[in-house]
Amino acid sequence: MDARKSIKLLAVALSPLLLLATGCVATRKFVRDTVSPLDTRINSVDKKTAQNAQDIRDVDRRAETGIAQAQNSADQANQAARTADEHAQAANQVAGKGLSAAKQAQNMVNNVTNYQPTQHTIVQFALNQYKLTAADKQHLDEVAQAVSGLKNYVIEVQGYTDTTGPKAFNLELSRRRAESVIRYLSLHYNIPLVRFYSLGYGEATPIAPNGTLKGRQENRRVDITVMVPQMTGQEAQNAEM
């Protein structure tokens, strides 16, 4: 075989290998040009998917936090509403008691013309004095016992002085004497203040001449009168039933 034929045979033999090598090179290039961009897009999609999932979790957490805060606010509002309702009920009860007491007092005032005296007591005082003595307190104890069994009554308390001293001083002194009587009955026998009607008259309306020592002594006094309603025949019958 000559050299020319040998070269031809070698070329023929190497041709498949060259074609195969050329094909491999083309295949790698195709993979590089086609698959690599696809991997990049897939990675980008994966990242976006992961970010979306994280965003969804963040939204869920914020929503749960908002729901919890809203529930807490609602609970606080409900508690405040219950507290306000309790306060309103307590206020209504107090108002109801006050209204009942006011109606009772008003009824007593409206019916004062129907009251009549049942007991009269006089407490006397020393010159320029308004403090109660042991004897004075004994008289007031009898008054308290007289009203202890009564349902409806009022007590008139009228303070007086003699003509010794200025009129303004005597007026104030007569008020203090009346107040000392009311204070004793209220504190020691729990008689409500609404039961009392009091006034200081000073040296007005003397019951004895102020020109004598005995007369002045009698005028230094407090008149206590227990008043009860005058019932009609039907009312008395109802009270006994």
Q: Is the dihedral of CA 66, 71, 72, 74 positive or negative?
A: positive
Give the domain-ending residue among 82, 110, 138. Answer: 110
Please provide residue 221's backbone torsions phi and psi, each rounded to the nearest 5 degrees. -150, 170
Give the domain-ending residue among 77, 110, 143. Answer: 110
Q: Which domain holds residue 106?
A: 1-110
Closest by CA to 222, choosing from 188, 169, 174, is 174
Q: How far apart are CA 74 and CA 237, in angstroms?
A: 60
Residue ranges with strand state E in the chain: 115-124, 154-159, 196-200, 221-229
Q: List pLDDT tens digits, range 106-127.
A: 555 555 558 899 999 999 999 9
* pLDDT exceeds cutoff 80 at 189: yes
| Amino acid (1-letter code) at residue 187 | L
Q: Are residues 60 and 143 in the same domain?
A: no
Q: Are residues 98 and 21 in the same domain?
A: yes
Closest by CA to 181, choosing from 200, 165, 162, 164, is 200
Q: How far apart are CA 136 and CA 130, in angstroms?
A: 11
* pLDDT exceeds cutoff 70 at 138: yes
Average pLDDT over residues 14-25: 51
Q: Label residue 154 left, alpha or beta by phi (over 0 means left) and psi (-120 to 50 means alpha).
A: beta
Element (H, E) at 234: helix 233-240
Q: Give the CA count within 13 Å in the CB-facing half-sphere of 197.
A: 12
Position 103 scores a pLDDT of 63
* pLDDT exceeds cutoff 80 at 167: yes
Closest by CA to 163, choosing from 222, 213, 224, 122, is 213
Q: List pLDDT tens digits, range 56-99.
A: 787 667 767 777 776 777 678 668 767 766 766 765 675 466 56
Q: How far apart are CA 199 and CA 240, in angstroms?
A: 35
Give the domain-ending residue among 53, 88, 110. Answer: 110
Q: How far apart are CA 241 and CA 230, in angstroms?
A: 17
User: CA–CA distance from 197 to each of 81, 104, 167, 192, 200 (Å)?
Assistant: 44, 15, 22, 11, 11
Q: Are residues 143 and 231 in the same domain?
A: yes
Number of domains in the chain: 2
Q: Are residues 90 and 182 in the same domain?
A: no
Q: Are residues 235 and 118 in the same domain?
A: yes
3-state secondary structure of 119: strand
Token duo for residue 215: 């007369």
Q: Are residues 83 and 180 in the same domain?
A: no
Q: Are residues 96 and 120 in the same domain?
A: no
Q: Are residues 4 and 90 in the same domain?
A: yes
Q: Are residues 137 and 169 in the same domain?
A: yes
Angle, in degrees to the nearest 10, between helices 134-147 and 167-189: 60
Banded pLDDT at 24 (limits 50, 70, 90): very low
Q: Are residues 124 and 101 in the same domain?
A: no
